Amino acid sequence: MSDPLLSLRLSVDYPGKSGVLRDLSLEISPGEVLGLVGQSGCGKSTLALAILRLLHLKGAAAEGAIHLNGRDLMTLKEREMRALRGREIGLVLQSPMSALNPALRIGRQLEEAWNVHRQGSRQECRKALTETLENVSLPAEEDFLKRYPSQLS
């Protein structure tokens, strides 16, 4: 059996609210799929933001360990985390209107994210985006990439 892709032991507190996530632990192995399901407000997004080390934006604090491919994310500098986000780990929120710029087409936003982490021609970028979209069962046609976030559900 291989080492886990992601493993964590975590607790999260918000100012004035302790134990938002308490002693949460999980491991995800390569090739394994995990569905995180729960009622609104139960901590699904908090967990995702903790893994990405973005909780400080909401005034929260995380304690514990988060390992991605054997690296302890809790000990990485912010510069190192920025290099990982979008390249090795990311988050797509439930509502496209809250996750994407409503004034820009989907394709442009995906190209921008790709270009932050990789160098290459526009053709290479489009090929990579097409493969990525197909891997997550989203349409990769040009029509889809020309849509605005409000046209998705």
Three-class secondary structure of residue 1 per DSSP = coil
The whole-angstrom separation of Cα 144 and Cα 26 is: 35
Does the domain made of 6-80 have the CATH classification 1.20.210.10?
no
Inter-CA distances, 5 with 59, 63, 70, 94, 129, Å: 28, 20, 7, 23, 23
pLDDT tens digits in sequence order for the chain, 153 residues long: 689 999 999 999 888 877 788 999 999 999 888 888 778 788 888 899 999 999 887 788 889 999 999 999 999 999 999 888 888 888 776 665 667 788 889 889 888 888 887 878 989 998 888 888 888 788 877 788 888 888 876
| Positions of CATH 3.40.50.300 in the chain | 6-80
Rounded to two decimals, the pTM is: 0.65
CB-based contacts of 115: which residues, under 8 Å, 6+ apart?
125
